[in-house]
Amino acid sequence: MDLLIGLDMLKRHQCCIDLKRNVLIIDGRIEAPFLPESEIPLSLSNPSILDNEDTDERVSSASLFY
């Protein structure tokens, strides 16, 4: 499951990023390990590989907010 957590959510759930152990600690009791770089899907590590149709769709939907 892909997950992106903002600073506001990290604070709300009292998260701690432990870079020595490479984990996200949530509420002092739940640990979620970070993916090693070798396991990051290519589509997430290199957004330029997306085809133009996907890019055009994202730009169109983003422009609705301006």
> For residue 5, what pLDDT is reported?
83
With 0.85 as the threshold, say if the pTM is over it: no
> For residue 4, what pLDDT is reported?
77
> For residue 41, what pLDDT is reported?
78
The pLDDT tens digits of the residues spanning 1-41 come to 667 789 999 999 999 999 999 999 999 999 999 988 888 77
Mean pLDDT value of segment 42-64: 58
Span between the terminal Cα atoms of the chain, in Å: 30
Instruction: Please give the torsion angle defined by the CA atoms of residues 29, 5, 19 and 35, in that order, rounded to the nearest 10 degrees.
Output: 100
18 neighbors 12 (Cβ within 8 angstroms): no
- Identify the DSSP state of 47: G
44 pLDDT more than 90: no
